[in-house]
């Protein structure tokens, strides 16, 4: 059974080199792995990809030996752990604002004694039934991870309790969602800066990783200086936009 590169780095106190993918592009997975990335955030919350395409992509993650942190479009229990059965290394769940919701997620994606995930073993994660159930269950619990997103004012206020939940491995700030909510709540005492500090303190207190997406080299460095380990930088969409801008500049220079 495959071991998680993300968890190995987190356990060693090291940051994760992670990028973002929102389309069915097997070549992206291979190139990310070859470039030294440990993990790809595979986004299904805001991108429409068919179940069969997801299955194909997860097989490519295993072939390239790179972690997939999948953000699912559902909170349905069997739907969540089927992504793990198909080969996702971890799940990142959006809009987790309470410790109770975090506990329900652990219940869905972890086997006993941590949770109440259903047992099969015939998926890619169990090498298609090549392992004894006890080995499969223990390895699945040890080598898959759960990251919850802090994207609301309520989540920031509850972040200490959320971080204390056993089975939650990381906290990931959604600055766009959180920033929008802060701007539309003029009486809140929170700013994005103080919210980041609150999440970092809760993560440190409970021994959990935390992070956020970064848009620039400077923001990668800033997050790292604050102790973030889960830093996402670079995406298929961003690469496409950059290519078109550069190509257009070339054409404008030759024949404007």
φ and ψ of 45, to 5 deg = -70, -45
Smallest CA-to-CA distance from 168 within 179, 159, 177, 178 is with: 159
| Contact partners, residue 234, CB within 8 Å, separation at least 6 | 19, 20
| Cα gap 61→29, rounded to integer Å | 6
Beta bridge partners of 235: 20
> Is residue 210 within 8 Å of residue 200, measured between CB atoms?
yes
Considering 23, 46, 62, 206, which one is annotated as catalytic? 46
The residue among 210, 28, 198, 172 whose CA lies nearest residue 93 is 172
Alpha helices in the chain (DSSP H): 5-11, 26-34, 51-64, 77-85, 99-109, 133-143, 153-157, 159-163, 175-183, 192-206, 217-225, 236-254
**Residue 61 to residues 8, 28, 36: CA-CA distances in angstroms?**
17, 10, 14
Q: Please give the structure tokens belonging to residue 237.
A: 């969409």
126 DSSP assignment: G
Q: How far apart are CA 35 and CA 114, in angstroms?
A: 35
131 labelled catalytic: no
As annotated, the active-site residues are 46
């Amino acid at each position: 059974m495959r071991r998680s590169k993300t968890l190995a780095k987190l356990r060693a106190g090291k940051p994760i080199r992670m990028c973002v993918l929102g389309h069915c592009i097997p070549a992206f997975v291979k190139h990310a792995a070859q470039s030294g990335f440990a993990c790809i955030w595979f986004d299904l919350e805001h991108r429409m990809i068919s179940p069969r395409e997801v299955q194909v992509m997860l097989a490519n993650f295993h072939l390239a030996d790179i972690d997939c942190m999948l953000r699912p479009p559902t909170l349905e229990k069997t739907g969540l752990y089927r992504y793990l059965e198909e080969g996702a290394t971890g799940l990142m769940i959006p809009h987790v604002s309470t410790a109770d919701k975090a506990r329900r997620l652990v219940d869905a994606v972890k086997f006993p004694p941590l949770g109440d995930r259903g047992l099969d073993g015939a998926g890619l994660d169990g090498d298609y039934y090549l392992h004894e159930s006890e080995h499969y269950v223990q390895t699945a619990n040890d080598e898959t991870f759960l990251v919850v997103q802090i994207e609301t004012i309520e989540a920031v206020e509850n972040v200490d309790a959320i971080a204390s939940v056993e089975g939650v491995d990381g906290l990931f700030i959604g600055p766009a969602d959180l920033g929008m909510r802060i701007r539309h709540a003029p009486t809140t005492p929170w700013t994005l800066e103080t919210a980041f500090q609150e999440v970092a303190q809760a993560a440190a207190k409970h021994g959990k990783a935390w992070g956020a997406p970064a848009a620039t080299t400077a923001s990668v460095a800033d997050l790292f200086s604050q102790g973030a380990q889960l830093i996402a930088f670079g995406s298929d969409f961003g690469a496409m936009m950059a290519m078109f801008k550069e190509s257009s500049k070339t054409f404008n220079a030759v024949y404007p």
